[in-house]
């Protein structure tokens, strides 16, 4: 997001709101597609949990990506946006019966199964419907990711997935079920991963597991490595895209795909984070004994990541013409002490009415919004909304 390229007219919109640079989104999607097309067997799914804004989904669908869903609501949103069911994969530890039925009725590509009880229920529901369910097994590879503990997901004792020790047993179980078609293995080690060594470790583990299974004459159609690629929250203006080159090249060079296998990715944050900003207005500048506060009209109801993960987002004043700067804590109006976007932020001298942009808010901003304190949900606007 280039902070010098916000369109005219933002000041007329009721704050807070999300602004999406769809030119940047399209450039990002074009970059992803170039790697998908360069490497045989690569298939990229958009992890819709990152942002389900219908305007963005329409653009993403135009570039031919599939979808990674974690709820029935996300399956329905994908269908409504025009995504092909044959490109939808569905994960989640707690799939309800109606969600399983929805996936079966639409003929989605596969269910990423995370436990034996879930597998049994899918088989039962598929049998009742006279259908066959395609499944991949989500395996915990016990690969540690260098990320926040709340978004690390591939360890042995995480709530997600099936242990490596149980892998063969569960594969054998799928082969005994008449309404289950076992397709392959699914992995996801965490989110906001910036070190390619983490993905290299996952590749090495998958290679080991494939060798192990082939000795038992088990062939896999699909390898799904999840997502997890992070973005630069510190310098989003200069690093407007994730490191797609190293990411896809790592898998191409390190993962030993077998003939006919397809390799599936589930990128979310890396697709949409940098194209979005949360635009908020300064309500008050409050001077404490030792600190100054910029109190804005957005809160953690609009962007919960700083409160939930202690995540950093770059904050800029996009309307000030001041040449002098000051240091502020940027906080919201929610009646919670954790409603703080950042502390010790250097901004141009800020006054009531100034527009503040919180960058890299395209992922897990709008989609995680709440109405706590009876606050209305903020609206989302795109570049196209300001072109006329």
Tell me, yes or no, whether 378 and 259 share the same domain: no
Residue 273's nearest CA partner among 232, 316, 222 is 232
Q: pLDDT tens track of the chain, all 388 residues?
A: 445 679 988 999 999 999 999 999 999 999 999 999 999 999 999 999 999 999 999 999 999 999 999 999 999 999 999 999 999 999 999 999 999 999 999 999 999 999 999 999 999 999 999 999 999 999 999 886 554 454 444 444 566 799 999 999 999 999 999 999 999 999 999 999 999 999 999 999 999 999 999 999 999 999 999 999 999 999 999 999 999 999 999 999 999 999 999 999 999 999 999 999 999 999 999 998 899 999 999 999 999 999 999 999 999 999 999 999 999 999 999 999 999 999 999 999 999 999 999 999 999 999 999 999 999 999 999 999 998 6
Does some domain include residue 303?
yes
Residue 16 forms part of a structural domain? no
Tell me the pLDDT tens digit for each residue of 295-328: 999 999 999 999 999 999 999 999 999 999 999 9
Same domain, 257 and 290: no
Hey, CA dihedral for 6, 60, 43, 97, is it positive or negative? Answer: positive
- The Cα–Cα gap between 5 and 224 comes to 37
For residue 13, being part of any structural domain is answered with no
Give the C-alpha separation, 380 to 54, whole Å: 10
Report the 3 state secondary structure along the chain. CCCCCCCCCHHHCCCCEEEECHHHHHHHHHHHHHHHHHCCCEEEEEEHHHCCCHHHHHHHHHCCCEEEECCHHHHHHHHHCCCCHHHEEECCCCCCHHHHHHHHHHCCCEEEECCHHHHHHHHHHHHHHCCCEEEEEEEECCCCCCCCHHHECCCCCCCCCEEHHHHHHHHHHHHCCCCEEEEEEECCCECCECCHHHHHHHHHHHHHHHHHHHCCCCCCCEEECCCCECCCCCCCCCCCCCCHHHHHHHHHHHCCCCCCCEEEEEECHHHHHHHEEEEEEEEEEEECCCCEEEEECCCCCCCCHHHHHCCCCCEEECCCCCCCEEEEEEECCCCCCCCEEEEEEEEECCCCCCEEEECCCCCCCHHHCCCHHHCCCCEEEEHHHHCC
Provide the whole-model pTM: 0.94
Peptide bond into 143 cis (omega under 30): no
Residue labelled with tokens 């077998």? 258
Q: Does residue 9 lie in a domain region?
A: no
Could you report the per-residue pLDDT of 141-160, keeping only the tens digit for each?
Answer: 988 655 445 444 444 456 67
Structural contact between residues 136 and 91, judged by C-beta atoms closer than 8 angstroms: no
Residues 266 and 132 grouped into a single domain = yes
Q: How far is it, in rounded angstroms, from Cα 187 to Cα 153?
A: 9
Measured distance CA(344)–CA(55) in Å, rounded: 35
55 and 108 part of one domain: yes
Find the distance separating the first CA and the last CA of the chain, reported in whole Å. Answer: 21
| Within a domain: 155 | yes
Out of 222, 242, 272, pick the residue that ends a domain: 272
Domain boundary among 272, 304, 338: 272
Residue 312 belongs to some domain of the structure: yes
∠ CA 379-329-369, rounded to 5°: 25
Say yes or no: 228 and 320 in one domain: no
Any idea what the CATH number is for the domain that residue 32 is in?
Answer: 3.20.20.10
Count the domains in the chain. 2
Please check whether residues 67 and 154 belong to one and the same domain.
Answer: yes
Q: What is the CATH number of the domain that holds 352?
A: 2.40.37.10
Query: Are 357 and 247 in a shared domain?
Result: no
Please tell me the predicted confidence (pLDDT) of residue 158. Answer: 62
Please tell me whether residues 349 and 374 are part of one structural domain: yes
Query: Tokens for 171?
Result: 């594969």
Range 45-68 burial, b when 16+ CB lie within 10 A, else e: bbbbbbbbbebbbebbbebebbbb
Bin 130: left if φ > 0, else alpha if -120 < ψ < 50, else beta. left
Q: Are residues 290 and 246 in the same domain?
A: no
Domain boundary among 229, 244, 272: 272
Q: Which domain holds residue 59?
A: 22-272
| Domain co-membership, 267 together with 292 | no
Task: Give the model's pLDDT for residue 282.
Answer: 98
Q: Counting beta carbons within 10 angstroms of the beta carbon of residue 93, is it exposed (0 to 12), middle (13 to 18) or buried (19 or more)?
A: middle
Q: Is residue 3 part of a domain?
A: no
124 and 222 share one domain: yes
pLDDT in tens, 226-282: 999 999 999 999 999 999 999 999 999 999 999 999 999 999 999 999 999 999 999
Q: Is residue 307 part of a domain?
A: yes
Q: Kindly list the distances between the CA atom of residue 347 and the CA atoms of 4, 10, 158, 293, in Å, as whole numbers in the listed order.
A: 15, 19, 40, 11
Strand 17-20 with 379-382, pairing: parallel
Q: Are residues 50 and 174 in the same domain?
A: yes
What does the pLDDT read at residue 388? 65
């Amino acid at each position: 997001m280039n902070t010098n390229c916000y369109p005219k007219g933002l000041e007329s919109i009721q704050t807070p709101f999300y602004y999406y640079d769809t030119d940047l989104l399209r450039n990002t999607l074009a970059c992803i597609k170039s790697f998908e097309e360069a490497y045989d067997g690569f298939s990229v799914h958009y992890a819709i949990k990152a942002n389900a804004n219908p305007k963005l989904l329409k653009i993403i669908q135009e570039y031919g990506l599939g979808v990674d869903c974690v709820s029935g609501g996300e399956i329905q949103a994908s269908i409504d946006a025009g995504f092909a069911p044959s490109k939808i994969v569905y994960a989640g530890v707690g799939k309800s019966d109606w969600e399983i039925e929805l996936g079966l009725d639409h003929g989605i590509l596969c269910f990423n199964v995370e436990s034996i009880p879930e597998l049994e229920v899918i088989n039962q529901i598929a049998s009742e419907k006279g259908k066959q369910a395609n499944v991949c097994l989500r395996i915990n590879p016990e690969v540690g990711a260098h990320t926040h503990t709340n978004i690390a997901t591939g360890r042995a004792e995480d709530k997600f997935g099936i242990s490596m020790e149980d892998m063969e047993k569960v594969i054998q179980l799928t082969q005994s079920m008449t309404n289950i078609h076992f397709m392959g293995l699914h992995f996801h080690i965490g989110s906001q991963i910036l070190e390619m060594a983490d993905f290299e470790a996952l590749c090495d583990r998958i290679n080991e597991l494939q060798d192990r299974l082939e000795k038992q004459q088990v062939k896999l159609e699909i390898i799904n490595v999840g997502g997890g690629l992070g973005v630069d929250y510190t310098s989003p203006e200069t690093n407007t895209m994730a490191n797609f080159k190293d990411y896809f090249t790592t898998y191409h060079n390190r993962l030993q795909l077998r003939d006919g296998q397809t390799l599936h990715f589930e990128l979310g944050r890396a697709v949409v984070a940098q194209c979005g900003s949360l635009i908020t207005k300064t309500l008050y500048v409050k001077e404490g004994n030792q600190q100054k506060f910029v109190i804005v009209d957005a809160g953690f109801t609009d962007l919960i990541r700083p409160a939930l993960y202690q995540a950093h987002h770059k904050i800029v004043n996009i309307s000030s013409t001041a040449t002098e700067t000051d240091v502020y804590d940027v906080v919201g109006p929610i009646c919670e002490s954790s409603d703080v976007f950042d502390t010790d932020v250097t901004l141009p001298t800020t006054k009531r009415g100034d527009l503040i942009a919180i960058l890299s808010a395209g992922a897990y901003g709008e989609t995680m919004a709440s109405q706590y304190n009876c606050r209305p949900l903020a609206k989302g606007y795109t570049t196209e909304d300001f072109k006329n």
